[in-house]
Structure 1
Amino acid sequence: MSAGFAPRAEPPPSELSGIARAAAIVGLGNVVSRLLGMAREIVKADLFGATGQVSAFEVAAIVPTMLYDLIVGGLVSSALVPVFSDYAAPERRDELWRLVSTLVGLVVGVLTILVLLVEVFAPQVTWLVSGGLKPESLALATALLRLTAPAVIFLNLSGILAGLLYALKRFSLPAFTAAIFNGAIVVVALLLAGRIGIRSLAVGLLAGAAFQVLLQLPGLRRTRLSFAFNWRHPALRRIGLLYVPIVLGLVVDIISRTLSYNLASRTGDASISLMRYATTLTQFPLGLVATAVSVAILPTLSRQAADLDARRGRDDFIGTLAHGLRLVLILIIPATVGLFVLAQPIVRLIFEHGDFLSTDTATTVVVLRLYLLGVIWAAIDQPLIFAFYARKDTWSPAIVGVVGVGFYLVTALGPTLVRPMQLSDLVLANVVQLTSHALIMLYLLKRGMGGLGGHAVGMTAIKSGLASAGLAAGAMGGLWGMAAIGAPNGLVGEIALVAAPGGVGLIAYVALIALLDVPEARMLFAAVKTRLWLPRTKEASETGE
């Protein structure tokens, strides 16, 4: 290092190691969740294909999800973890228990009324979300919604408990709530599909939501939650103030998703199901990488945000965020490139069996590759949003969300001026929405805190992109090689068409990213060596990697 050069501040090695451990736990939970989510989609595709009845189930599933996002889901990272973290110190735990008890009572009361309303007005709700479906599919969606509606209560209770446990830095149990949710759907569908058909998915969804709550109860053993309410707890007002702008953004997001489903239902009865199959594959790397890192850095960012007025505090905050973004980039870029190159064999391997046809595979591949154009932007957007939440700034992401929906509507509806709407229009509109949101968030970060200059985020993206080009070349070479020698028939051949090119691409990426000397890559390699009980390098030990 040249004399006189002062590097930008980074969090101490122990803090980075804690974030890495938390990210590993959350990441493991996301791996299990995504694998079970993939199993859920495989079972769904095998049993029911890409059909109108699957689209009907997706409508019945999206309504509880949107209500969860509106009431508690949007609060977990934006308000609950930051506010709960303020009360997480041992001397303030009694206040924390009273706050959580009050919040649980309030949410359960509101949700009970809301579920009753959904049950009564289910036909109107399903028409609003998917009015373009055929009458029989719309009637089925209504019946399924009446089965899934009570899941709203369990989903929101699970969200509150997850926020509490994350604030206490107890990551293990909440990290696996999504996994048990997906697992329940798989098990119930396999057990009951022969008897009750598509309704088995709705019953599984309800069971999975309930199991999310049960899973987290052991983590509350040393807490003192009660049925006592303190409606005047000062933190309730803080949560409410943080929630107001979130509501704006969430309402806009719900309108966007509702419009997306409604428009998709008008491009074909199977369109919603095809979108779902494709987004399941894109959500796998997003959950594994972006969500895991974002959740892991949020408590640290929330604590560092208290000292933003001091230069050291600001540098620590930006350093933690930059560290998270670099971790995201070296993982999400190769994952996106690999998924793009191997889209066809992956979709064929995972979905093309049972009632899922080769024509469904071809359409899903096109939709998937279009969605992948926005995945990298979506991945870096998550840590940026969490950074604003940690600063108790929930207005900025909400307003940017409104702008993003505007971009979506213009892109989706613009082509209808000259031709009928196509499913690809909606997918590309989503890509534009994700990209614009991330770019605006980066601009706001630069304007408000000076940006990420000096933290090598851009250089990390370039190096990861170069290494990913090697991955793409290796994977395509592997595909050509498999075509030349001829892959075995059946399941073994389908696995080989994914595993062999994917393995070649992975080896190429690891070799190139190591050659390009990315610090976060060294940290991950050291973590892998530790898990495999291999000797660590002296450099890794000294840096805390």
Structure 2
Amino acid sequence: MLRASAIMAAGTMVSRLTGFVRTAVLAAAIGTFALGDAYNAAYTIPLILFDLLIGGVLSSVIVPMIVRAKKQDADGGRAFEQRLMTLAIVVLTLIAVLGVLLARPIMVLYTASNWSPHKIDVAASLARFILPQIAFFGIGAMAGAILNTRDRFAAPMWAPVLNNIVVIGIGVAYYMTGSSDIDKVSDRSLMLLGLGTTAGIVAQSIVLVIALHRAGFRFRPRLGLRDTGLGEAGKAALWTFVFVGINQFGFWVTTKLATGAGDAAPGAGNSAYSYAFQLFQLPYGIIAVSVITAMLPRMSRYVHDGEFDSARAEFGSGVRLVSSVIVPSGLLLMVLGPAATTLIFSWGNMNAENALYIGYVLQVFGLALVPFSIFQLLLRVFYSFGDTRTPAIIAAINVAIQATLSLIAYSTLPARYIVIGMAFAYALTYVIGSGVAWVLASKKIQGLGGRGVAAGLSRMYVAAIPAAVVALAVLWLAREIAPITALSSAVILAAGGGFGLLFYLLAAHRMRVPEVSSIIGLVTSRVGR
């Protein structure tokens, strides 16, 4: 699992680093005021609709069912995979067309009620160019799921790099020709921004389709659904749709409140929340997603064969491996968040104050990194059993807590602190949600080895405390010498982050944290070669 995760983590790291550049370029081009909020709202709609229609089904239903089809079907699951791909193409293409036709009502739904008609028109124009992504998202995601079941993990993690490169080029072109003022932006500039964003997803999907072809998959349209097992998949997917729908309701509440906060306090709204959330997802995306992707097919095979001991061992190994990286990353985000965002965002139409504010939001998100990552791993326990009902129930609890706390933050905090309060609501939600999920998953699989996981996490936190102290000392010293600028932030990140991680690795190695020792061994062996 570590070797497979390392391949994916390498691709994800390059993807996320180029994603940093992409985000920084877009922020420099469009800022975090009204146009930035409009773009981020429009950009998230395809992701929302894709999640509602198929995204959540991939990990919870499709991957385990492909694994079973490969074991049970005479053709090794080939016809089943072709039917899945055909269904995804047809359904998502129709949804993409419908989304384009309903772009304005959708944007009215997801933006603040006090937005002017012109702001909504701009967001709707962007959405019309961006919503066709839904079909290409689906094709690429389905190709990635089939590749994962064939233990081909590299292409799905490396393909987003091309997407980022395309959008970086579009962002540079927009910065040179467009305007960050929503009242001055032209239709041609909106077309460049919207179609350029979609072009990145098209390029990403093409790469995945080519990789799938090289893996031996040959697409042949198949529309017959009888006696294929897709009826069973539909029943299981029903609860996944409920799960995703509940989560998207929570996202809708968050977007409405964040855009409202940004209208009252420019620069402290949806764009600041979205950019901080993207950076918060970096450590999770590099290590946790890689481990989860490698873990789920293996756990599904163990559960299918009744090997619960092996499934428990796989889960425990995955949690400890993820936590060995996530624990120090969360603490370092809480210390170095403002330095990171100042380096990334204080360019072009962004100023240092707005970049620093994103860092304050990121610091609060750092609290959520460990519980959020463990929560995602716990969901895979249910999915390996084909249980999609329990995650939907847990999601309802999470959304109820997060929406309530976010509404309290919106109604009680000053406008400039609302999204910071919403980030804290997010963190507290996943602390509670991961506790509930752990109890239910433990009953499902007859124990999760909680004592071993807790002991491992305790050692990791003890090893990570010196890293956080070193980073904090570097930050304090740098601020005593000079104000935080892009240059000083680069020094702080290099010194504070570099020495902090070095102290963590040394402490963890001395404390005999096996996952850290395994990672060090893997890296040194690769470097040695």
Could you state the TM-score of these two structures normalised by the residue count of structure 1? 0.89
- Corresponding residue of 2:84: 103
For 1:263-274, list aligned pairs within 5 A: 263-269=257-263, 270=267, 271-274=269-272
Separation in 2 of the partners of 1:182 and 1:532? Answer: 27
Match of residue 64 from structure 1? 46
8 Å Cα contact 1:411/1:432 also seen in 2: no
Residue of structure 2 aligned with 1:302, choices 296, 300, 308: 300
Equivalent residue number for residue 171 of structure 1: 153
Q: Structure 2: which amino acid aligns with 1:245?
A: W
Aligned residue number for residue 125 of structure 1: 106
Counterpart amino acid of 2:103?
Answer: A
Match of 1:8 in 2: none
The amino acid of 2:439's aligned partner reads Y
Match of 1:279 in 2: 277
Distance 1:275 1:254 in 2: 16
Superposed CA offset, 1:73-96 (max 9, x none)? 11221111111112335x847352
> Cα gap change, 1:419/1:163 in structure 2, threshold over 3 Å: closer, same or farther?
closer
1:503 and 2:498 are equivalent in the alignment? yes
CA positional deviation for 1:482: 3.9
- Distance in structure 1 (CA, Å) of the matches to 2:27 and 2:512: 42
Larger displacement relative to structure 2 (201-210 or 375-384): 201-210
Q: Deviations over 1:474-510 (max 9, x none)?
A: 11222344456x4799755432121012122112111
AA paired with 2:90? G
Q: Does 1:516 align with 2:508?
A: no
Match of 1:412 in 2: 406
Return the offset for 1:258: 1.3
Opposite residue 459 of structure 1, the aligned amino acid is: A
| Aligned with residue 159 of structure 1, among 135, 141, 156 | 141
Taking structure 1 as reference, are residues 336 and 211 closer, same or farther at Cα in structure 2, changes over 3 Å only?
same
Q: Kindly report which structure 2 residues correspond to 1:146-545, keeping only aligned pairs within 5 A, or say none.
A: 146-195=128-177, 196-197=188-189, 199-219=191-211, 220-221=213-214, 222-269=216-263, 270=267, 271-308=269-306, 313-415=307-409, 422-453=418-449, 456-483=452-479, 486=481, 492-533=487-528
CA distance in 2, matches of 1:268, 1:295: 36
The answer as to whether partners of 2:64 and 2:384 remain within 8 angstroms in 1 is: yes
Alpha-carbon distance in 1 for matches of 2:96, 2:517: 50
Of 358-367 and 279-288, deviating more is: 358-367
Deviates more, 1:500-509 or 1:490-499: 490-499
Relative to structure 1, the CA distance from residue 489 to residue 125 in structure 2 (aligned partners, 3 Å threshold; closer, same or farther) is closer
Do the aligned partners of 1:340 and 1:372 also contact (CA within 8 Å) in 2? yes
In 2 relative to 1, CA 415–491 (structure 1 residues): closer, same or farther, beyond 3 Å?
A: closer
Question: 1:531: how far off?
Answer: 0.9
Cα gap change, 1:357/1:444 in structure 2, threshold over 3 Å: closer, same or farther? same
Identity of aligned residues (%): 26
> Which AA in structure 2 matches 1:167?
T
Q: Give the counterpart letter for 2:254 in structure 1.
A: S
Supply the RMSD in Å over aligned alpha carbons.
Answer: 2.1
Shift in alpha-carbon separation, 1:489–1:73, aligned structure 2, 3 A: closer
Unaligned runs of 5+ in 1: 1-18, 535-545
Map Cα deviations across residues 268-289 of structure 1 (whole Å, 9 max, x no partner). Answer: 2340111111112101111012
Q: Distance in 2 between matches of 1:229 and 1:54?
A: 42
Of stretches 503-512 and 408-417 in structure 1, the one that deviates more from structure 2 is 408-417
Q: Secondary structure at the match of 1:53?
A: helix
Give the SS at the match of 1:362.
helix
Q: Distance in 1 between matches of 2:344 and 2:240?
A: 36
| Contact kept? 2:70, 2:76, Cα under 8 Å | no
1: distance between equivalents of 2:439 and 2:414?
36
Equivalent residue, structure 2, for 1:113: 94
SS in 2 for 1:392: coil
Amino acid aligned to 2:272: L
Determine helix, strand or coil for the equivalent of 1:376.
Answer: helix
Cα deviation code 1:144-185 (max 9, x no counterpart): 000011110000111111111101111111122333332321
Deviation at 1:29, TM superposition (A): 1.9
Aligned to 1:44: 26
Partner Cα distance (1:516, 1:449) in 2: 30
Q: 1:377: how far off? A: 0.6
- The answer to which of 133-142 and 276-285 deviates more is 133-142
Deviating more after overlay: 198-207 vs 455-464: 198-207
Instruction: Look up the equivalent residue of 1:367 and give its one-letter code.
Output: V
Q: Give 3-state SS (helix, strand or coil) of 2:154's partner.
A: coil
For residue 191 of structure 1, report the CA deviation from its aligned partner: 3.3
Q: How far, CA to CA, are the matches of 1:127 and 1:464 in structure 2?
A: 46
Residue 346 of structure 1 contacts residue 498 of structure 1 at CA under 8 Å; is this kept in 2? yes
Give the drift of 1:470.
Answer: 0.5
CA contact (8 A) 1:463 1:513 kept: yes
2:42–2:130 Cα contact (<8 Å) kept: yes
Which residue among 84, 94, 98 is the counterpart of 2:75? 94
Q: Is the 8 A contact 2:15 2:161 kept in 1?
A: yes
Counterpart-to-counterpart distance in 1, 2:483 and 2:250: 45
1:60: how far off? 1.0
**Letter paired with 1:507:** L
8 Å CA contact 2:378, 2:437 repeated in 1: yes
CA contact (8 A) 1:487 1:496 kept: no
Q: Is the 8 A contact 1:411 1:429 kept in 2?
A: yes
Decide whether the 8 Å contact of 1:98 with 1:230 is kept in 2: no
